Amino acid sequence: MTSMDMVKITFNLVVIYVIGGLIMAFVYAKTSPIMFIKAKEEKEAALKLMMPEADKIAVLGDWEPHEKHAEYYAARTCGEIKITQVKDEKTGEMKDEEECLNPSDIGYIVEGFGKGYSSYIHVLASVDKNFIVQKISVLGHGETPGLGDEIEKDYFLSQFKGRSAENLVVIKGETPDKIQAITGATISSRAVTEDGVKNGVHMLKKELSGEVQG
């Protein structure tokens, strides 16, 4: 191989990789803003589903499980809803704006991440004022199709209702008060239960214990 060949090969590789990189960067630049907005809408819809009885869900703060940004929320019901007419600045039309008076917390929602078999599993968990889990849902993950992705199924998720933080433990096989692992996906089950939800509930307890009396 002459030095000319080496230059040729290097040039060939660089050119093709730069073109490939540019194409990918272009697609990413076009799609990521839309993707971001859609993901945010989906998250808001998911939050609403976590506590359907709440009138309002307010951000309380954020934390960093696995160095990822995650938030926690208070689910509130309004003592009274005051409706005021406000002028929309863009259209100039009058519209109703609801204001929540005397809100009271009925529970909390925490967003968390669990390190699974092949991805970080993005979860939401709602708890009541005594930090008993009400509901959890999986927002996103990259686990093995057919095995790990069973964590999205109801038979797994419904086990969480009524569990306290101490009982968020994965057991292989039948269990009356803990969480039963999915066959063939113990790591993913554990990531959701212990890494995602349990850590989130512990964090909530620590952050909010001052606010909660009895």
Partner 1 sequence: MSVGQKSNWELIKNGMFGENTIFRMAISLCPSIAVTNGMKNGVSLGVAVVFVQTMVNVTVSLLRKFIHPKIRIPIFMLIIAGYVTIIDLLMATYARPIYKEIGLYIQIIVAFASIFARAEVFASKNKVWSSVCDGFGMGVGFLLAMLVISFFRELLGKGELFGYSLIAGNPLLIMILPAGGFLAVGLLMGFFNWIDMRFFGGKGASGV
List residues binding partner 1 (CB under 8 A): 8-9, 12-13, 16-17, 20, 23-24, 27-28, 31-32, 34-35, 38, 42, 142-147, 149, 183-184
Count helices and strands in the chain by DSSP H and E runs: 4, 9
151: DSSP letter: G
- Residues 104/79, Cβ–Cβ less than 8 Å: yes
CB of 109 to partner 1, least distance (A): 21
Q: Is residue 189 within 8 Å of 182, Cβ to Cβ? A: yes
CB of 72 to partner 1, least distance (A): 25
Report the residue number, 146 or 214, with the smaller CB distance to partner 1: 146
* 71 vs 149 by CB, closer to partner 1: 149
Q: Kindly tell me which of 146 and 210 has the beta carbon lying closer to partner 1.
A: 146
**CB 112 to partner 1: min, Å:** 20
Pairing of strands 170-171, 179-180: parallel
> Which residue, 25 or 86, has its beta carbon nearer to partner 1?
25
Least Å distance between CB 149 and partner 1? Answer: 6
Closest approach of partner 1 to the CB of residue 43, in Å: 13
Q: Which residues of 172-206 are buried (b: 16+ CB within 10 A; e: fewer)?
A: eeeeeebbbbbeebbbbbbbbbebbbbbbbebbee
Residue of 177, 165, 207, 176 lying closest to 71 (CA atoms): 207
CB-nearer residue toward partner 1: 40 or 82: 40
Quick one: which of 68, 63, 141, 71 has its CA closest to 109? 71
Residue recorded with tokens 């951000």: 59
- For partner 1, the closer of residues 103 and 140 by Cβ is 140
- In whole angstroms, the minimum distance from the beta carbon of 169 to partner 1 comes to 23
The DSSP secondary-structure symbol of 95 reads E
